[in-house]
């Protein structure tokens, strides 16, 4: 019986992840459009790319930023379970994500036990543009509001 259960799980689990991936509008590659953005948090990057791939419970996001100081890479886990999850890469912190509706996600950033940033991710109705609006305090202690980054789907 246990062997049948394992076989069933081996067949069904990849299929259900595939269904989730088909229904997740945020998946894919996104590039920052500096012309459409209004960056209020520090100097704008030279380029920024986000690659989102499905994972159980949500998706994994790899953020690659190129600045005058070099290239940084971060991995964020968009798990919609109400908890905070540790980031991986160049800027360690904890992130929590809440799905408002199919095209809207809200996120909180927590550092040293305190919420420091609130973000809102919104997809255009046609799914070709993602707008991220953030307000909060940088890791260096600088306050900012309405940092708007617009990404185009590639």
Query: Domain 2-153 class?
Result: mainly beta
The Cα–Cα gap between 100 and 122 comes to 10
User: In the chain, count of helices (H) and strands (E)?
Assistant: 1, 11
Q: What is the pLDDT of residues 55-101, one digit of tens each?
A: 999 999 999 999 999 999 999 999 999 899 999 998 899 999 999 99
Q: What is the pTM of this model?
A: 0.84
pLDDT digits over 109-153, tens only? 999 999 999 999 999 999 999 999 999 998 889 999 999 999 999
CA dist list (Å): 21 to 18, 50, 66, 93, 131: 5, 16, 28, 26, 21
């Amino acid at each position: 019986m246990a062997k049948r259960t394992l076989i069933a799980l081996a067949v069904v689990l990849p299929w259900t992840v595939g269904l989730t991936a088909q229904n997740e509008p945020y998946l894919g590659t996104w590039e920052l459009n500096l012309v459409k953005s209004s960056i209020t948090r520090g100097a704008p990057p030279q380029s920024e790319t986000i690659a989102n791939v499905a994972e159980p419970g949500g998706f994994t996001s790899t953020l690659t930023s190129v600045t005058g100081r070099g290239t940084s890479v971060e991995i964020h886990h968009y798990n919609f379970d109400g908890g905070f999850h540790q980031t991986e890469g160049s800027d360690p912190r904890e992130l929590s994500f809440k799905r408002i509706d199919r095209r809207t996600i809200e996120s909180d950033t927590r550092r040293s036990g305190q919420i420091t940033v609130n973000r809102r991710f919104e997809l255009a109705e046609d799914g070709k543009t993602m707008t991220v609006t953030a307000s909060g305090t940088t890791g260096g202690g600088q306050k900012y509001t309405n940092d708007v980054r617009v990404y185009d789907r590639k």
